Amino acid sequence: MKQLCRGNNIKHQTSCVRTPQQNGLAERRNRQILEIVRASLFFMKVKREYWGEAVRSAAYLMYKTPSSVIDFKTPLQKVQELSDLPVNYGMEPRVFG
């Protein structure tokens, strides 16, 4: 695993079990996705049974939205730039609700 990460410029971070405080970036991303999902379901008056589709759509939109932190590129573009591994999100969102 270490060799794969080094070879592809991937920063591997670890944390202790049951300590979400140490998972800063992952926790922040999860919170952002959940905020988008809740807003989408509420404002579009969609039933909770579509929660999974809303999560998939929110994650897809986040990874396809340019960010000033990474020179106005999308996270997906940045990953492709830094890695030789093929990046295929593969699950474009569908209309739901």
Q: In this structure, is residue 37 part of a structural domain?
A: yes
- Is residue 94 domain-resident? yes
Please indicate, yes or no, if residue 1 is contained in any of the structural domains: no
pLDDT in tens, 58-81: 988 888 899 998 899 988 888 888
Distance CA 66, CA 74 (A): 4
Residue 26 has pLDDT above 90, yes or no: no
Residue 10: inside a domain: no
In a domain, 2, yes or no: no
Name the residue range of residue 47's domain: 18-97
Q: Provide the pLDDT for residue 14.
A: 82
pTM of the model: 0.68
Query: Does 5 map to a domain?
Result: no
- How many Å apart are CA 50 and CA 34, to the nearest integer? 13
Cβ-based neighbours of 22, under 8 Å, separated by 6 or more = 15, 16
pLDDT at residue 90 greater than cutoff 80: no
State the DSSP H helix or E strand holding residue 5, giving kind and residue range, or none if neither. Answer: helix 2-7
Rounded distance between C-alpha atoms, residue 19 and residue 21, angstroms: 5
- Tokens representing 74 are 């999308």
Residue 12 lies in a domain: no
pLDDT-derived band at 36, boundaries 50, 70, 90: very high
Total tally of structural domains belonging to the chain: 1
